[in-house]
Structure 1
Amino acid sequence: MAGGQGTTADTDVLVVGAGPAGLTTALQAHAHGATVRVVDRRGQRIRPSRAMMLHARALEGLRPLGVTDELLDRADTTPQARIHLGPRVVEARLGHAILPDTAFPHLTLVRQADVEDVLWQELQAKGVPVDWGVEFRGLGTEASGSPGLHGGLVHAELHASSSGHGLHVSRFLVGCDGQASTVRGFTGAQWRGGPYRVETVLADVELDGTLDPGLLHVAVGGTGLAFLFALGEGATWRMLATRPAVPHPGARFGQLGPSVPPEEVARLLTEAGLDAAVREVRWSAQVPLQHRVASTFGSDPVFLAGDAAHAHSPAGGQGMNNGVLDALNLGWKLGFASTAGRRLPELLESYGQERRPAARQVLALTHVIFFGEASPHPAARLARNVLPAVAPVLPLLLRRQWLTSKGIRLLAQPFVRYRDSAISRDCPPRAGKWPRPGERLPDAPVAVDGRAARLHELTAAPGIHLLLERDAGTGAVGAGPALANQGPLLHVHRLTSHPGRGVVAVRPDGYVGFRSSGEDPAGLRDWLRLVGAVRD
């Protein structure tokens, strides 16, 4: 374990927690120039999955990091569902959405364990250390007596199961250590929200019965929902069911709690009305649920991401995705701030400005979905009980691809925008045919020097991407070719398919940061300097 002697940082970034948010933060920060270390108090890497789904926006953001193909190889990208409404069964195809603005127009079923494994392997290939059995205990002091935050550096007190106490000195500390985050206590954040009256039960089971294999089965009943995924880790099926919360001493919100008696697992499946019986329970856990958002996502030099910053129900499969999107937003900013050679306060403050409102929006979405899925409220129970009566019209609705597409698009969080961010710059004259700064860049066909391509193909590399319209002069980006040679994290693409003299700058997380319909080299260079993409 590194000791924090003197004022030299051991790494630019220390990430606490090796879940999807922590591993993605590490990859994104490293890809944008930072040295990184990840620590996790777990003694072993492999653990049961809680999440089972990635959405298009997360996959788009992960694509430049080189992990998307491997994730898709491990995923089911053409899922089919059987929705069980009492005696009626409705089929839903979820892998054929009409979404021309993304390379991932489908639901993607993939285990959290596989996501973590792919991210971990990529970090290993990049030489980024991920240390297990190392717990963050707080902000310690050096032997000289300097405090935990000193000279712009963070002195983190760590305890390794193998080597005992030590200090790690870093420029930034990121808490991705879950809903019971230790790091959160050092940000001054309040943990606002409350518990749900409903919890989930997870179980890996073998079944007897007539359920079609390899499909997603959803059972809707008055007492709640039950899901059966053909993605079990210790058995053929993974079951997720809801029930009234059962208090248990020591249970932690959002974490895998005590095992559930096999007869209780069998009861939940029977009450769901599925034509199956539990033959064997290989593994199970109860998971208490809460809805909370931290009052701050941190500030230089300590930040929060993932479950340490927000907690919500599993409705809509948003948890893992929201953590990954936090990480993609924060990681590049930490990378640029680590290498800029100067402070970048607007860039670092923009993380909380952008992601905390997004977390509140996602919490509202999951709150509404979860109310309908599992709430014991009489109105929600009545709605679920009425569903079997409308089952005959559901196949007609589900055959309409536009309806499925709208649902898949909604889960990909199209409502998340950063228009009011300090790093979103719209310079006159505005390029109205491009998204506003702070909005996601949609995928679309383009031509680059006469070669057919797609926008997300062009931007599938770490760094800032400058899109020049066809008639933009060589001075449109300031120093022209010299600016393009600032380093491997600044890319220039001339779109011969787009007439005009405008310039658009796309951030590393896929959002537009700057646009102008005319040549504004000074404005562009000011923006690039604002985010640390160019040297003084």
Structure 2
Amino acid sequence: MFTESRFTVIAGAGPTGLTLARQLARHGVPYRIVEKSAQPFDGSRGKGLQPRTLEVLDDLGLLDGFLAAGGPYPELLAHLPGGGEHRFRLDEVHAPTPAVPWPNMLMLPQWRTGELLADGIPVEVGVGLTGIDPIDGGARVTLDTGEAVDAAYVVGADGGRSTVRKLAGIGFEGETHEEERLTIADVRLTGLDRDHWHVWPGEGRAFRLGLCPLPGGDWFQLTAPPSALSPAELVAAVDPSITVTAVGWTSEYRANMRMASRFRAGNVFLAGDAAHVHSPAGGQGLNTGIQDAYNLGWKIATGSAAVLDTYEEERLPVAAGVLGISTRLHRRHAEGADDAMRRDDPVLRQLSLNYRGATLADERRPRPGTVQAGDRAPDAPLAAGRIFDRLRGPHATLLAFDWESPLPELSVPVHHVSEAAGIYGTDGPTLLLIRPDNYVGCATHDVRDVLGYLERAGL
């Protein structure tokens, strides 16, 4: 496990950086997290948490607070020209299953997500990076306070304009469509119910205005094409009976789809928007960043160069795939497709993302089961509790199915879970080693494979 005495320096205290700080803290890895902005982000921006992210929050012990603060996505109500109405959903409401306890997106404004993740995290606000220089076994980080910090690792979670990425000399490939913009604002108003996400179409298939009620208060998120009109004027133009009483955070989104050419340069890593920026279509960006951090944190804790090499190997292809999905959704919206607002592709829930075939996905069975090495470990009911209860925490876990032979003393907890064999699709005596990020690392019928994997992965 981790033996370095020097800090990991995290640049950026958004959801990605805060998730990483929490991961490092529970692994006992010393860190410093700095945030260039003097104040926490106060806007709604990324407001959707995908089912896989909810599982990450459960593992971190934070889910109850998020569920209490957030809410389900409401039905959309389109106010049609001529006074008609049309109701529809981005996606159907999915019933929980034994394998997927939280199958639906949770709506929560990004400022609140950041606030919940930041609770208890010692963020150094108003502090940025000005230099990163390699030193023996790490990097010397220069802060804009004049302080120099000798770090074991540096992680850039500092957004699309990442200073860390630029200092590391990593390219940011992709394109920006300057002509495709969207005004976003948080507004308070009267004269409109909070039971629906209200949208007003324009001429043809054009989009004119959207007002989405945000949970945890009386704010709405306003979205509209760029205009010289103020938020209040935009609203009044579609319905004079609605009155905007306050305007909070405002921004203008540009269609920007880019990805870093590498996620690692020496002991410098990129995560979240510093590594990939997406269209907001599909609610993928914030969620992908949280899962970057979830993947990277336990690997930093091992202190193994070989294990850290697998961060880019696993996360870069995932980010590329997610970028492709969100870009396709964006193009459908920009082109006015009839189903442009549908979000029913199950891939968007991020439960099927996997690392099959990667270095740390060791599938040793001649007939792999439903759940294979590299896959997310699903939940399942047990005689006492459930699988997620056994996995929760910073440790790896060995799940034994129909296993009666004695096992040697291991460095990880062992749970006999034969009643979950149906969900996991195991056949006969089977061992599944679950990594600290709750993906299947090794799947085998031979305990020697588990022992070898634990050594290679530094667990």
Question: TM-score, normalized by length of structure 1?
Answer: 0.76
Note if 1:54 corresponds to 2:35.
Answer: no
Stretches of structure 1 that go unaligned for 5 or more consecutive residues are 1-7, 140-147, 244-259, 338-343, 388-393, 395-403
Note if 1:494 corresponds to 2:416.
Answer: yes
DSSP 3-state at the match of 2:86: strand
Per-residue Cα deviation, 1:20-60 (whole angstroms, up to 9, x for no partner): 00000111122223112100111123522311110100111
CA displacement at 1:93 relative to structure 2: 8.6
Partner of 1:279: 244
Note if 1:293 corresponds to 2:259.
Answer: yes
Q: How many pairs are equivalent?
A: 444
Structure number with greater Rg is 1
Matched residues, percent identical?
Answer: 30
Distance 1:426 1:71, change over 3 A: same
Amino acid at match of 2:155: V
Partner of 2:129: 136
Q: Are the counterparts in 1 of residues 231 and 247 from structure 2 also a CA contact under 8 Å?
A: no
Note if 1:443 corresponds to 2:379.
Answer: yes
Among candidates 205, 215, 227, match of residue 187 of structure 2: 205
DSSP 3-state at the match of 1:315: coil
Question: What is the CA RMSD across the aligned residues, in angstroms?
Answer: 2.7
Q: Are the counterparts in 2 of residues 466 and 492 from structure 1 also a CA contact under 8 Å?
A: yes
Amino acid at match of 1:167: A
Between the aligned partners of 1:66 and 1:276, the Cα distance in structure 2 is 44
Between the aligned partners of 1:23 and 1:440, the Cα distance in structure 2 is 22
DSSP 3-state at the match of 1:239: strand
Amino acid at match of 1:205: V
Distance 1:24 1:225, change over 3 A: farther
Between the aligned partners of 2:457 and 2:220, the Cα distance in structure 1 is 46
Between the aligned partners of 2:91 and 2:70, the Cα distance in structure 1 is 13
CA displacement at 1:506 relative to structure 2: 1.2
Query: Relative to structure 2, which stretch is displaced further, 98-107 or 48-57?
Result: 98-107
Q: Are the counterparts in 1 of residues 69 and 216 from structure 2 also a CA contact under 8 Å?
A: no
Distance 1:220 1:452, change over 3 A: farther
Amino acid at match of 2:264: G
Partner of 2:102: 104
Per-residue Cα deviation, 1:195-240 (whole angstroms, up to 9, x for no partner): 123122111224454x322432244443336432212899632212
Q: Are the counterparts in 2 of residues 187 and 296 from structure 1 also a CA contact under 8 Å?
A: no
Among candidates 22, 29, 49, match of residue 24 of structure 2: 29
Partner of 1:341: none
Partner of 1:157: 142
Distance 1:193 1:269, change over 3 A: farther
Distance 1:130 1:420, change over 3 A: same
Partner of 2:284: 318
Distance 1:78 1:267, change over 3 A: closer
Partner of 1:117: 115
Q: Are the counterparts in 1 of residues 92 and 344 from structure 2 also a CA contact under 8 Å?
A: no
Q: Are the counterparts in 2 of residues 294 and 309 from structure 1 also a CA contact under 8 Å?
A: yes
Q: Are the counterparts in 2 of residues 235 and 282 from structure 1 also a CA contact under 8 Å?
A: no
Per-residue Cα deviation, 1:308-348 (whole angstroms, up to 9, x for no partner): 000111111111111101111111111122xxxxxx23311
DSSP 3-state at the match of 1:48: coil
Matches within 5 A, 1:35-46: 35-46=30-41
Among candidates 294, 299, 306, match of residue 272 of structure 2: 306
Per-residue Cα deviation, 1:248-296 (whole angstroms, up to 9, x for no partner): xxxxxxxxxxxx86x343565467x568644345233223331001000
DSSP 3-state at the match of 2:112: helix
CA displacement at 1:465 relative to structure 2: 1.3
Between the aligned partners of 1:463 and 1:276, the Cα distance in structure 2 is 56
CA displacement at 1:510 relative to structure 2: 2.1
Note if 1:349 corresponds to 2:323.
Answer: no
CA displacement at 1:492 relative to structure 2: 1.4
Between the aligned partners of 1:526 and 1:10, the Cα distance in structure 2 is 27
Per-residue Cα deviation, 1:428-479 (whole angstroms, up to 9, x for no partner): 444x33411111122222x3xxx2432223212222111011224223xxxx
